[in-house]
Structure 1
Amino acid sequence: MSIELQQGANTAILERNLMISIGWNKESAIEADVSAFLINSSGTVRDDQDFIFYNQTQTVCGGLVLDPEYHRERRLFRAFLDRIPDTVNKLVFIITVAIDSDIALQPHCGQLGMVYIDISDQSNQQLLRFNLQPSGEERALMLGELYRHQGTWKFRAVGQGYNGGLDILAASFGVSIQNPVANSHIDHAIAASSTLPSKQVWTEKATKLQRALRQFLPQIKAAVANGANESNTRMILDRILLDVFGYSMEEVKAEQKIQGRKADYVLAIDEEDVIVGESKRAGLKLSEKHVFQATSYGAYSGIRWALLTNLSTWQIYHISMQNIVDANLVFSVNLLPEISLEDCEKLILISRFGMTQKGALEKCWREVSALTRENLIQAILTEDVVKAIRIAIRRDTGCNFDNDLIQQTLLDVLIHP
């Protein structure tokens, strides 16, 4: 039975695998984002890796994961409390509004309307909810915190506002930060203290991977041509994961049991499972059934990335789980007839090197998801774009229409062509 908490109230949390949803009034024109901090007994983060936001979407321990999928009025965390180190006393959840370059036009949380945080178990059964109506001029709100109490976990509904925004709040928790970036609901979040390698470094790594992968091209072609069985396919795949992608034997775990099922592979880095893999017979046409097999293993274990391959085709999926397992293609690469550098620039993301660059694969996924049909339609129908189209039509045709008519016509063209 779900509990609705009042500000300042707390309740025990008996479940260990949780879905934590933070949302706001979907009618609001203000953009918002969420973040979380893992706090120790001193009231600070242990290091910058304990700050979870769009560009650093999971902890090193895998205990807290922010789903990078963008929704206009909601964000989702997954928490695996048994993975949270004993040195972490609490998890603090924050909602912030975007920063505008014109200080006179600064948005604030009060413009979001009703905000909420709710916690559900892994079967999406709601455990509790805290609703809050911001009233001040604060740009950041600490909505709630999960904290340890006498050997168990509890949740407290906080609802405390901060006028200084996320940068001031993060600094109070000991996060090393740079200046926030203006004018973007995504880029307003604090830049991570560590940056991704340069384009030149990525290209050099991809070129090296291309050379190594080409050594296996005769084996891949022969396996596909001869219809090699799954066992022989996996023998080749084992060597590619080790010799090309750079994983150690201990990091390539085969036949892993997950929720009563077996995954062909689980790739790990420093004992953290990062990719679940499903291997099919060389050259076998990959189907939706295979996609479901690959991604369902990861969804129930908190692994957010899935690899599906038949040796020639390599597909990477982002996994999220809300009411159902949701798998979205990040990229697909075909190694036959030739291995291109462009393909290797994608594959380097799932190499050991790429997976150790925090935020690299997430950045790729964000760019892919940002250009979905749904997001493009949403962007086109915004007031600024509609106004620009109305002005262009008036300039080119002499016809003057109101914004509502332009917007409705766009809707008809885009959704009901």
Structure 2
Amino acid sequence: MLLLKGQKADITKGRNLANLSLQFGWSTASDAFSIDAACFVLSERNRCEREGDFIFYGNPSAGSGALTHAQLNGPDKEGIRIALSKLPASTAKVAFTVTIYEGEKHGYGMKDVSNMYVRLMNDDNGEELFRYEYGSDLSRETAIVVGELYRHNGEWKFNAIGSGFYGGLAALCTNFGLEIEDEGTQEAAAAVEETVVSTIDLRKRIVGITLEKKNMTQVAARVGLVLDISGSMLNLYKNGTVQEVVERILAVACKFDDDAVLDVWVYDNEYSRLPSATEKDFENYVLNHIMNNRHIHKFGRNNEPPVMEDVIRKYTVEEDSALPVFIIFINDGGVVKQIKKVITESAVQPIFWQFVGIGNSDFEVLKRLDSMEGRIVDNANFFHVKDIAAVSDETLYSQLLNEFPLWLKEAKNKRIIRP
């Protein structure tokens, strides 16, 4: 099974698994630099409490014998073997990393590495459980936290992270609480301040680049996300795709909204207005506020007008403001024709509707948005991506922000947006 960034997978649940191995592979265009895999055994404080719990080529085995690092010959370059039963009870998680040796010194970054992956294997029988491909969204970074093995309800799970760091191995050590005793200490500490501690930071940078390209760096707007939660969306909620969508759109809100707040709705034949997502609480947002929320109606049929009317009510009645509103509307099937009436009537409001169709439906109604008549401005756009999880952040943000600036200009000319 191929994991996606941000996805969490059960490792031991439902399996008789005693020994796990992670096998790392990569390709480089030059043999002038080397890459190393390592891991940090972490406590509940998210710290590596002992130097011996940092496993790498210079310390290939933990004192408990639970972890072993090895060089491999073949497509898999390095491996880390874990005897799960030998992990101390104090172990909350194990963080797995990849670094470029002296990358800053020689001017190398993750842009010089390709085809990075890790395979999670049943070490007893050689079965590949999961594969995670990562790093294609990184550039100057010289280290990556690939993922984490962590305890959850008495079982072990894996979190596919793929976050980049500057400062190489020294920065990682500092980040996980180990003291660096060489001359690079100050540089490493400074690098940690520039650390990309989450994919949200990377995505904010990509949004920033997209805004620069579209001459939108001075734009301020409120951002809302409306998520289809009809029955056909069930697998996308379960496999982490919707959680990933929340994070990707939150990065847009962080650039447009001074408060860095993303307003969220879900709908099927009913709708719910959810707590806003922020950088402080977006992790596990879908699980905490949607899947585990018994007050939300889930996985019924779709009916868009009621939730659209609530969006309008929030931004034009309850929280009237001079700021324009950018609504991203995720849908995986045909919408009801009555949305035309809502879109037409809301054309006089400072709201732009950006519909994103995902999956294999034909989206007949949404495809006709641009030709809808009776509007003072074209206040809606639609594009279709079959698999949103497979679309790069650069491509997604470029498409999301393609027509919004055109609407902003026209809405200002028509005095829909107040000065």
In the superposition, the TM-score normalised over structure 2's length comes to: 0.40
